[in-house]
Amino acid sequence: MNKVLHNPLALIGFVIIAGILFMALIAPLIAPYDPDAINVKAILLSPSANHLMGTDGLGRDVFTRMLYGSRISLMVGFVAVGIATAIGIILGAIAGFYRGWVDTVIMRVVDVMLSIPTFFLILAVIAFLTPSIWNIMIVIGLTSWMGVTRLVRAEFLSLRNREFVLAAQALGAKDARLIFTHLLPNSLTPIIVSSILGIASAVLVESGLSFLGLGVQAPQASWGNILTDGKEYIQFAWWLSLFPGLAILITVLGYNLLGDGLRDAYNPRTSQH
């Protein structure tokens, strides 16, 4: 933790993400309005003291919907990356530990998956499913595990012949004990960094899908579908595009800064300087 506190990038990213998470958690307590409440008398009001971020085409308070939308966007990021990381750790550990034909088969599957544009693959799968937040999280997770798999495999290959692993093996440690007690704990730092960067990508993908109408469906708020609403009124209701766009930008920037900062902080080559 001390390394993180002394790394400006990681610290800035941590503050940004902590602030966004805090706002998302207390959204029901600080939201001034019902996120789905339609008010025909307050349609497309510009930002003011009563409506900090203005209102949309149905008179709903944008600030309230932004708060609730943060919960959706962040939940998609965490769950999707959790699924992808779990799959990546399992396959990467198997490939890196057992090597041989098992490694070859797994890595050829990874190569095939990487050759398919991920966003278009997600679009194709979502097109055959009912658009819902759970389908989005599962599909993003099932199409984003390849990078983690390659990372874990590389870590396991570099650690497989280290003295502490060979010593445990000589003492009769089983494969499961070697993997979960000796190899995986020593591979956690790059996995955590990759997961943090993956959350930023998942937030972007969810926002893109929602913007295209294939993600979170109205009236449930997400930053992507708030942007979609703003597209219709962009000439005279700038706030509908500006605030969700900034939220996505700041969130993705925060995760990228935190991930890059952690990578620099725990990189032996950079930490020596």
Alpha-carbon distances of 31 from 22, 132, 154, 203, 247, rounded to whole Å? 13, 24, 46, 22, 16
DSSP-assigned letter for residue 61: B
CB atoms within 10 A of CB 157: 15
98 assigned to some structural domain: yes
Q: Which residues contact 117 (CB under 8 A, 6 or more apart)?
A: none
Instruction: Answer for the pair 198, 144: CB distance below 8 angstroms, yes or no.
Output: yes
Phi first, then psi, for residue 212 (nearest 5°) are -85, -5
* Domain assignment of residue 132, given as a range: 73-271
Q: What does the alpha-carbon distance between residue 14 and residue 252 come to, in Å, rounded to a whole number?
A: 12
What is the reported pLDDT for 91? Answer: 94
162: Cβ contacts below 8 Å, ≥ 6 apart: none
pLDDT tens-place string over residues 146-166? 999 999 999 998 888 888 888
Q: For the chain, how far is it from start to end, CA to CA, in angstroms?
A: 18
Cβ–Cβ under 8 Å, residues 225 and 216: yes
Examine residue 54 and state whether it is found in any structural domain, yes or no: no
Contact 16, 253 (CB under 8 A): yes
The conformation of residue 185, written as its DSSP 8-state character, comes to G
For the entire predicted model, the pTM comes to 0.85
Q: Give the pLDDT confidence score for residue 259 in this predicted structure.
A: 87
Cβ distance 73 to 203 under 8 Å?
A: yes
CB 67 within 8 A of CB 24: yes
pLDDT of residue 250: 93
CA 218 to mean position of chain CA atoms:
22
Could you count the other beta carbons within 10 Å of the beta carbon of residue 42?
A: 18
- Count of the separate structural domains present in the chain: 1
In a domain, 246, yes or no: yes
In a domain, 41, yes or no: no
User: Is residue 266 in some structural domain?
Assistant: yes
CB-CB contact of 88 with 145 (8 Å): yes
pLDDT of residue 271: 46
CA angle 140, 143, 146 (to 5 degrees): 130
What residues contact 15, with CB distance under 8 A and at least 6 apart?
none
Query: What is the 8-class DSSP label of residue 45?
Result: P
- Residue 14 domain-assigned? no
Residue 68 lies in a domain: no
Instruction: Kindly give the parts of the chain with pLDDT less than 50.
Output: 269-273
Supply the CATH number for residue 152's domain: 1.10.3720.10
Q: Could you give the count of Cα atoms lying within 13 Å of 271 in the half-sphere of its Cβ?
A: 12
* 43 part of a folded domain: no
Helix 188-211 to helix 223-232 angle, to the nearest 10 degrees? 30
